[in-house]
Amino acid sequence: MERQDVTALIDEIRYLGSELDDVETKTAHGGLPQRIYRSLSALSNRRGGGVILLGVDEAQQFAVVGVPDVARLQADLSSVASEMRPPLRLTFDVCQVEEETVVAVTVPECPANQKPCYWERASLEDGAYVRVGNTNRHMTQNEIRRLWLSQRDDADTDVVEKATLEDLDWQRVEAYRAAVLQRRPESVVAGQSLENLLLGAGCLARDGATLRPTLAGLLLFGQNPQFYFPRFIITVTQYGSTDVGDEIIHGRPYLYDTEADGPIPAMIDWAERAALSLIKRRAYFDGLTRREAPEYPEFAIREAIRNAVAHRDYTARGTAIDVRLFADRLEVRNSGGLFGGVTVETLDQAPPSTRNPRIMRVLQDLGYVEQRGTGIRRMIGEMREANLEPPQFKDAGTYFVVTLKNHTLLDEETLAWLSRFASVPLNDRQRLALAYLRVNERMTNTDYRRLHHGAVETVQATRDLRGLVETGLVEMHYTRRWAYYTLSEATPRQVQLALPEAMSDEERILAYVRAHGSITNTQCRELLRIDSRHRATRLLGRLVRAGQIQQIGTGKGTRYELPV
């Protein structure tokens, strides 16, 4: 963490008049605070970890008072960190702020499968804390238990008490065996009884001398799983506006509402049909060419729903999977955050990880999920191919949300807005980033890379974003892993003067070339909605003679670009 980051954090804390959910301040003028382990525990149990600023006094409106003995402070804090379970590796950054020495301590997030992090001397029951707003609160035994349960990778093999073999739909089991043999003709399931097939799949287990369905078995093959688990359903709700509160205020809670129940495959089929029946056809522009397509790619909707079913936390038995369609977006929410070492930033790159391996395996055999690790990348790619923003992912620890937005990034108004910066030396990637920032509050390096569907590496993304900052159109906030970017205060968000409808044909062609780098005769005709190849050639030739574009190549491969 650099000096400007520390200064920015202190300024933000002073402005708000309180600590942040991920930043604590400690005076530490007389040495290390006695109960610093509470801060280490709470921040390490928080998604993303946090920062402790030593040398800042909350009692004096967060005045910078400095620390006298940096070396001893670091040694003492490192000692406490080694007593945490698991031990924490802290990062120390020492900097001068307002002529005083401040130590910024970065507390990493504890690996999910090792949470909660606690102070060994106080024991798990007394030494585990959680960050709530700007305070540290002692974790209750129930919270510790819930956290532990949510990280199990064998919860789907729990035997369902009182459930019997009669609760299963054996025709579904037979259909499953047929699906396995179709995918893997040499599979050992060919010679197995249906009971042994389910035992091997973790869908049956022995309860003493009795065979009973496991959670996976009942959810996948049960005749009525909701008899035992009423909230293991999928709800599909459509709202008429962009906010649930607006609907309630106007006395119309929703436009459409349904629930999908039954075994998992039936629920998925029903929920997908319901969601797909509600989406509209949208107009979008490929450059300046108007096209029509579904509001959202079908695969993206299916992938979001299927991932929610496969990865939800089935130990949280009071919550449903919610599919919500708003005027501007579609959200799919499930209980349980990301599992294992996967983070939002690495979701499309990390090795596959699931808390429900038996459910996942059966869904793979039935063709509901692809080879693990490929679905998210394809979802991002299909959203971008549809000229939509990449999906947004939110991991809140206790729940996870996928959001698909239906706003076209390069619509007519946005292209007109981008034309205001035609004189600024930007590449196509940077122009697309500006379009993204026009409708989103911020952008991170990960957002930038996903916007370009993985075609840009981290280093190139950083270089492009810094280039945008150098133009003055974009501002950078913080550095390193905290860095994010916004449109600068001086960058106008509104379209100046006329919209594209008022542009001349030549101006529309130039706007297309600026946005996409080149144009062909066919693209020109689609753009202007004309059938005459001769007319398009004449318009392009006029711009060439005026020196505004240049012709590259001849014959069918001819394209036109801005002059170098």
> What are the angstrom distances between the C-alpha of 555 and each of 251, 469, 548?
62, 40, 21
The three-class DSSP label of residue 256 is strand
Reported as a pLDDT band with limits 50, 70 and 90, residue 368 is very high
Does pTM top 0.75 for this prediction? no
Residue 497 lies in a domain: no
Neighbours of 427 (CB within 10 A): 11
Residue 492 lies in a domain: no
Q: Verify that 31 and 146 share a domain, yes or no.
A: yes
pLDDT of 340 over the 80 cut:
no
What's the CA gap between 10 and 26, in Å, rounded?
12
> What local confidence, expressed as pLDDT, does residue 466 receive?
92
What's the CA gap between 33 and 19, in Å, rounded?
17
Residue 185 lies in a domain: yes
Length of the chain: 564
Reported as a pLDDT band with limits 50, 70 and 90, residue 501 is very low
Reported as a pLDDT band with limits 50, 70 and 90, residue 416 is confident
> What local confidence, expressed as pLDDT, does residue 475 receive?
92
pLDDT of 241 over the 90 cut:
no
Strands (E) across 378-507 are located at 392-395, 399-405, 474-477, 484-487
Give the percent of the chain with pLDDT over 70: 93
The residue from 487, 515, 541 where one domain ends is 487
pLDDT tens digit sequence for 12-45: 899 888 999 899 999 998 889 889 999 999 999 9
> What are the angstrom distances between the C-alpha of 220 and each of 215, 313, 358, 360, 487?
8, 15, 10, 10, 48
What's the CA gap between 428 and 430, in Å, rounded?
5
Cβ 287 vs Cβ 278: under 8 Å: no
Cα–chain-centroid distance for residue 231?
25
pLDDT of 462 over the 50 cut:
yes
Give the mean pLDDT of 82-107.
Answer: 95
Strands (E) across 373-416 are located at 392-395, 399-405
Q: Which residues are bridge partners to 50 per DSSP?
A: 107
Q: Verify that 440 and 521 share a domain, yes or no.
A: no
Q: Verify that 317 and 334 share a domain, yes or no.
A: yes
> What local confidence, expressed as pLDDT, does residue 498 receive?
41
pLDDT of 481 over the 80 cut:
no
CATH of the domain at 50: 3.30.950.30
Cβ 382 vs Cβ 404: under 8 Å: no
> What local confidence, expressed as pLDDT, does residue 142 receive?
81
Residue 105 lies in a domain: yes
pLDDT of 385 over the 70 cut:
yes
- Among 72-86, 152-166, 255-269, 342-356, which is the least confidently predicted range? 342-356
Q: How many domains does the chain have?
A: 5
Q: Verify that 358 and 259 share a domain, yes or no.
A: yes
pLDDT tens digit sequence for 105-126: 999 999 877 889 999 998 888 8
What's the CA gap between 279 and 386, in Å, rounded?
15
The residue from 126, 150, 174 where one domain ends is 150
Query: Where is mean pLDDT largest: 8-12, 30-34, 153-157, 233-237?
Result: 233-237
Per-residue burial over 171-198, b = 16 or more CB atoms within 10 Å of its CB, e = otherwise: ebbeebbeebeeeeeeeebeeeebeebb
Q: Verify that 58 and 143 share a domain, yes or no.
A: yes
> What local confidence, expressed as pLDDT, does residue 287 receive?
55
pLDDT tens digit sequence for 32-90: 988 999 999 999 999 889 999 999 999 999 999 999 899 999 999 999 999 999 999 99
Peptide linkage before 86 cis (omega within 30 of 0): yes
- Among 357-361, 451-455, 559-563, which is the least confidently predicted range? 451-455
Which residues are within 8 A (CB) of 318 and not within 5 positions of it... i.e. 6 or more apart? Answer: 231
Give the percent of the chain with pLDDT over 90: 53
Q: Verify that 331 and 261 share a domain, yes or no.
A: yes
CATH of the domain at 270: 3.30.565.60
Q: Verify that 81 and 45 share a domain, yes or no.
A: yes
> What local confidence, expressed as pLDDT, does residue 350 receive?
65
Domain of residue 106 covers 3-150
What's the CA gap between 34 and 106, in Å, rounded?
19
Q: Give the chain's largest Cα–Cα span.
A: 89
Only one residue has tokens 């693990």, namely: 372
What's the CA gap between 394 and 483, in Å, rounded?
18
Per-residue burial over 282-293, b = 16 or more CB atoms within 10 Å of its CB, e = otherwise: bebbbbbbeeeb
Residue 166 lies in a domain: yes
Q: Verify that 394 and 513 share a domain, yes or no.
A: no
> What local confidence, expressed as pLDDT, does residue 373 receive?
66
Cβ 54 vs Cβ 103: under 8 Å: yes
- Among 108-122, 137-151, 170-184, 373-387, which is the least confidently predicted range? 137-151
- Tally helices (H) and strands (E) across the chain: 20, 24
Q: Verify that 159 and 75 share a domain, yes or no.
A: no
Residue 493 lies in a domain: no
Residue 37 lies in a domain: yes
pLDDT tens digit sequence for 187-210: 888 889 999 999 999 999 998 889
288 or 10: which leads in pLDDT: 10
> What local confidence, expressed as pLDDT, does residue 267 receive?
97
Residue 405 lies in a domain: no
pLDDT of 250 over the 80 cut:
no
> What local confidence, expressed as pLDDT, does residue 351 receive?
64
Q: Verify that 374 and 271 share a domain, yes or no.
A: yes
> What local confidence, expressed as pLDDT, does residue 500 receive?
41
> What are the angstrom distances between the C-alpha of 385 and each of 283, 306, 390, 485?
14, 21, 10, 24
Give the mean pLDDT of 169-188.
Answer: 93
CATH of the domain at 513: 1.10.10.10
Reported as a pLDDT band with limits 50, 70 and 90, residue 478 is confident
> What local confidence, expressed as pLDDT, does residue 133 receive?
86
Q: Verify that 100 and 172 share a domain, yes or no.
A: no
> What local confidence, expressed as pLDDT, does residue 51 receive?
95
pLDDT of 353 over the 80 cut:
no
Residue type, 523: Q
> What local confidence, expressed as pLDDT, does residue 289 receive?
63
> What local confidence, expressed as pLDDT, does residue 273 receive?
96
The two structure tokens encoding residue 156 = 């789907």
CB burial of residue 488 (10 Å; 0-12, 13-18, 19+): middle
Cβ 310 vs Cβ 356: under 8 Å: yes
> What local confidence, expressed as pLDDT, does residue 499 receive?
39
Mean pLDDT, the chain, rounded, equals 88
> What are the angstrom distances between the C-alpha of 297 and each of 49, 301, 330, 371?
35, 7, 11, 20
Peptide linkage before 263 cis (omega within 30 of 0): no
The residue from 208, 227, 246 where one domain ends is 227
Residue type, 394: K
Give the mean pLDDT of 243-256.
Answer: 66
Reported as a pLDDT band with limits 50, 70 and 90, residue 363 is very high
Reported as a pLDDT band with limits 50, 70 and 90, residue 496 is low
Which residues are within 8 A (CB) of 87 and not within 5 positions of it... i.e. 6 or more apart? Answer: 81
Which residues are within 8 A (CB) of 338 and not within 5 positions of it... i.e. 6 or more apart? Answer: 112, 344, 347, 395, 400
Q: Verify that 373 and 425 share a domain, yes or no.
A: no
> What local confidence, expressed as pLDDT, does residue 435 receive?
92
